[in-house]
């Protein structure tokens, strides 16, 4: 038992270093992910912490303090409620960035542990179970997905698939409750992954009666005998989902569903499954040449390469099943392998785009399956397909090794080679950002927001303004650089999304609502992440849409753009203050209503 525990710890540690090399070797000062979704997810976790810990917080559960005055803006993206308690635990004694790093690491460890546990419950030997945990939690695909941190918490999925299989074999009230709890918590942790899990379970339940005789009869008999318990349990589960998803339905009515033309860009193509990360992977020189064949605007979503280890094992498993050569498989194992491999194959075929204009069976899913119209990145179904494949292939391989006489040394050498090769081919570079990179700029803005700001907006320079700068002006901007400061392309290019997140974090730090924001969508009438509102337009927005009277509004610009400042008209007056990099127009109402 001790030896097995040591094996799990060693392989998990190797995987952690494999996926988060920069973060681990930096002493946890490099935050996983880029200045995109990873930072946004950090914000959502911090928002939930403020909701439960700060009675004076200006936001509410589904209304963070960005995109003012729009309410319910959390429903424009993931909420991460299911794993937020992990963040809260670390947030008690650490700052937001560090708590996010620990939250991220904890989720990857839980992914590994859940996969190992599931495979061990399927009686897969420890070394192969570790291989499965490695390929699920620390794969090269995860190195790309870490910029979308909402896709990391998936540890409920393998546990739910195991519970489903046991329920199929022998239905019970306990298993039904476990299945409902695990699926709900997966939705609560990541709506994307939760929806894919429910869709995958639906596929599994449809094909299982074709493979496992008597399935329909057993489930029908169980429901008939325990109809009251089943009805109450499913009603509670459905009610919980309704409460969780109601704000999302409301948001959908405001911003609309995803058009199928947008979804086409993220339908997996055959080449997507061979597209590797572009850097530091042994297969990149061979397979990254496929990148030009895929939609360039969403190329990162098409990096789905699961590894030749998985593909070879999947091909071998399918061959053995189809040729009926697996005489050494017992009936239960054969059924398990057939159902999981079949589920993976159906999900693969349903999501596959077979032409450049998006010809795919997914159109029917989009039209007729509840919730499918809000799933923008269909490529993300690859993580569920990967789990199905790992169960099918590793169960098959384990049974083959158990049945075939082989010298213990030779068998150990084969397993060691398999684990080493899989580890090497999954190794890739890590996307990360320095934990200190934005803190100076954020602190400067936070200090400005404390200067009697009731509401604020940061008008970052439009790209047109940058293009008009002379060489002399550009040289003089050395100490007034645009965020992110010291970025190699600044000041000739602005990272608009990073600038929005900068303002969002500065605002939540001092509990001041801001009009700035970035999420899955932008509410109508508010500035998009790469557009700006001048002062008159912003004041007009506040007067027309603010649900409360705003007496003190702060309009923030870069100091080098002082020539663009405009004077507000009555009933507004202004006072100008400056910091090292920013100018703040404090706009006050001169004749507030009595």
What helix, strand, coil percent values describe the chain, rounded to 5?
60, 5, 30
- Note the pLDDT of residue 592: 53
The Cα–Cα gap between 278 and 280 comes to 7
| Burial grade of 214 (CB within 10 A; 0-12, 13-18, 19 or more) | exposed
117-155 pLDDT tens trace:
999 999 999 999 999 999 999 998 887 778 889 999 999
CB 540 within 8 A of CB 547: no
- Note the pLDDT of residue 66: 94
Asked, as a colleague might, if the bond just before 33 is cis with ω within 30 of 0, I would say no
Please name which of 509, 463, 460, 376 lies closest in space to residue 66, comparing C-alpha atoms.
509
The Cα–Cα gap between 272 and 295 comes to 10
The Cα–Cα gap between 41 and 474 comes to 34
Give the pLDDT band of residue 478 (cuts 50, 70, 90): very low
Q: Output the DSSP codes for 237-255.
A: HHHHHHHHHHHHHHHHHHH
Mean pLDDT of 421-448: 83
Q: Residues with Cβ < 8 Å from 107, sequence gap 6 or more?
A: 83, 86, 152, 153, 155
Give the pLDDT band of residue 304 (cuts 50, 70, 90): very high
Please name which of 388, 390, 404 lies closest in space to residue 343, comparing C-alpha atoms.
388
- Note the pLDDT of residue 358: 83
For the ranges 363-372, 479-488, 501-510, 557-566, the lowest mean pLDDT is seen at 479-488
- Note the pLDDT of residue 558: 78
Mean pLDDT of 57-63: 95
Give the pLDDT band of residue 462 (cuts 50, 70, 90): low
Task: At 395, list the tokens.
Answer: 């169960």
Helix (H) / strand (E) containing 414: helix 408-426
Mean pLDDT of 33-59: 91
DSSP code, position 500 = H
Mean pLDDT, rounded, of the chain: 88
The Cα–Cα gap between 257 and 248 comes to 11
For the ranges 59-73, 155-169, 447-461, the lowest mean pLDDT is seen at 447-461
Taken in order 357, 381, 34, 281, is the CA torsion positive or negative?
negative
Mean pLDDT of 292-307: 89
Has residue 54 got a pLDDT over 90?
Answer: yes
Q: Mean pLDDT: which of 139-148, 224-233, 321-330, 581-590 is highest?
A: 224-233
Global pTM? 0.91
- Note the pLDDT of residue 480: 36
Has residue 322 got a pLDDT over 80?
Answer: yes
Please name which of 22, 28, 19 lies closest in space to residue 281, comparing C-alpha atoms.
19
The Cα–Cα gap between 513 and 57 comes to 10
Helix (H) / strand (E) containing 545: helix 535-545
Paired sense of beta strands 552-558 and 572-578, if any: unpaired
Give the pLDDT band of residue 562 (cuts 50, 70, 90): low
Chain centroid, CA 322 distance in Å? 36
Percent of the chain whose pLDDT exceeds 70: 91
| 59-84: b (≥16 Cβ within 10 Å) or e | beebbbbbbbbbbbbbbbbbbbbbbb
The Cα–Cα gap between 537 and 516 comes to 14
- More reliable by pLDDT, 253 or 140: 140
Output the CA–CA distances (angstroms, integers) from residue 178 to 152, 339, 379, in the order listed. 22, 20, 28
| Burial grade of 494 (CB within 10 A; 0-12, 13-18, 19 or more) | buried
Give the pLDDT band of residue 256 (cuts 50, 70, 90): low
Radius of gyration of the chain measured on its C-alpha atoms: 26
Q: Output the DSSP codes for 68-93.
A: TT---GGGGS---TTTHHHHHHHHTT
Give the pLDDT band of residue 244 (cuts 50, 70, 90): very high
- Note the pLDDT of residue 485: 42
Residue reference for tokens 């939705």: 187
For the ranges 41-45, 182-186, 475-479, the lowest mean pLDDT is seen at 475-479
Give the pLDDT band of residue 29 (cuts 50, 70, 90): confident
Has residue 555 got a pLDDT over 70?
Answer: yes
Q: Mean pLDDT: which of 267-281, 312-326, 332-346 is highest?
A: 332-346
Has residue 468 got a pLDDT over 80?
Answer: no
CB 540 within 8 A of CB 553: no
DSSP code, position 299 = G
- Note the pLDDT of residue 226: 96
Has residue 482 got a pLDDT over 60?
Answer: no
Give the pLDDT band of residue 479 (cuts 50, 70, 90): very low
Task: At 36, list the tokens.
Answer: 């995109």
- Note the pLDDT of residue 429: 76
Please name which of 422, 350, 341, 416 lies closest in space to residue 386, comparing C-alpha atoms.
341
Q: What is the four-CA torsion angle of 531, 537, 538, 543, rounded to 10 degrees?
A: -150
CB atoms within 10 A of CB 464: 7
Return the beta strands (E) in 405-535 as ranges.
432-434, 455-458
The Cα–Cα gap between 104 and 102 comes to 5
Task: Please state the φ and ψ torsions of residue 280, each to the nearest 5 degrees.
Answer: 50, 40
DSSP code, position 519 = S
The Cα–Cα gap between 364 and 377 comes to 16
């Amino acid at each position: 038992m001790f030896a097995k525990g040591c094996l799990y710890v060693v392989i998990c540690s190797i995987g952690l270093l494999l996926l988060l090399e920069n973060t681990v070797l930096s002493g946890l000062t490099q935050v996983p992910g880029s200045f995109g979704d990873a930072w946004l997810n950090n914000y959502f976790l911090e928002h939930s912490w403020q909701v439960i810990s700060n009675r004076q917080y200006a936001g509410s559960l589904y209304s963070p303090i960005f995109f003012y005055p729009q309410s319910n803006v959390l429903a424009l993206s993931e909420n991460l409620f299911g794993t937020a308690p992990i963040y809260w635990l670390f947030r008690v004694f650490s700052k937001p960035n560090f708590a996010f790093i620990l939250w991220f690491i904890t989720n990857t460890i839980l992914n590994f542990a859940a996969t190992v546990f599931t495979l061990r419950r399927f009686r897969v030997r420890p070394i192969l179970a570790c291989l499965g945990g490695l390929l699920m939690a620390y794969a090269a695909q995860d190195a790309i997905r870490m910029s979308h941190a909402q896709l990391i918490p998936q540890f409920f999925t393998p546990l739910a698939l195991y519970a489903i299989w046991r329920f199929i074999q022998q239905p019970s009230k306990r298993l039904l409750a476990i299945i409902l709890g695990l699926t709900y918590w997966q939705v609560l942790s990541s709506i994307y992954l939760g929806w894919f899990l429910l869709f995958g379970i639906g596929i599994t339940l449809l094909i299982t009666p074709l493979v496992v005789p008597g399935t329909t009869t057993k489930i029908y008999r169980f429901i008939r005998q325990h109809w009251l318990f089943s009805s109450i349990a499913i009603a509670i589960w459905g009610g919980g989902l309704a409460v969780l998803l109601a704000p999302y339905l409301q948001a959908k009515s405001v911003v609309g569903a995803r058009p199928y033309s947008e979804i086409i860009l993220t339908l997996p193509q055959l080449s997507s499954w061979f597209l590797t990360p572009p850097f530091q992977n042994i297969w990149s020189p061979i397979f990254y040449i496929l990148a030009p064949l895929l939609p360039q605007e969403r190329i990162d979503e098409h990096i789905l390469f699961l590894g030749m280890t998985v593909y070879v094992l999947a091909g071998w498993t399918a061959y053995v099943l189809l040729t009926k050569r697996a005489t050494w498989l017992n009936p239960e194992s054969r059924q398990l392998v057939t159902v999981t491999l079949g589920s993976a194959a159906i999900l693969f075929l349903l999501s596959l785009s077979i032409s450049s204009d998006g010809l795919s069976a997914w159109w029917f899913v989009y039209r007729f399956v509840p919730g499918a119209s809000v799933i923008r990145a269909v490529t993300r179904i690859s993580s569920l397909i990967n789990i199905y494949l790992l169960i099918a292939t590793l169960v098959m391989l384990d049974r083959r090794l158990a049945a075939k006489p082989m010298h213990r040394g030779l068998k150990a050498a084969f397993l060691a080679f398999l684990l080493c090769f899989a580890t090497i081919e999954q190794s890739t570079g890590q996307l990360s950002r320095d934990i200190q990179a934005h803190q100076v700029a954020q602190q400067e803005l936070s200090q400005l927001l404390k200067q009697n700001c009731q509401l604020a907006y940061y008008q970052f320079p439009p790209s047109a303004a940058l293009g008009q700068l002379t060489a002399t002006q550009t040289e003089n901007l050395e100490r007034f650089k645009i965020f992110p400061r010291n970025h190699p392309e600044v000041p000739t290019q602005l990272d608009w999304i990073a600038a929005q997140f900068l303002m969002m974090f500065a605002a939540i730090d001092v509990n001041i609502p801001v009009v700035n924001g970035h999420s899955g969508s932008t509410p109508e009438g508010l500035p998009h992440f790469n557009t700006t509102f001048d002062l008159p337009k912003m004041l007009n927005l506040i007067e027309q849409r603010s649900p409360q009277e705003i007496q003190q509004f702060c309009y923030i610009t870069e100091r080098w753009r002082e020539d663009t400042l405009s004077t507000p008209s009555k009933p507004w007056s202004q006072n100008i203050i400056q910091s090292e990099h920013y100018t703040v127009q404090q706009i006050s109402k001169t004749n507030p209503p009595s």
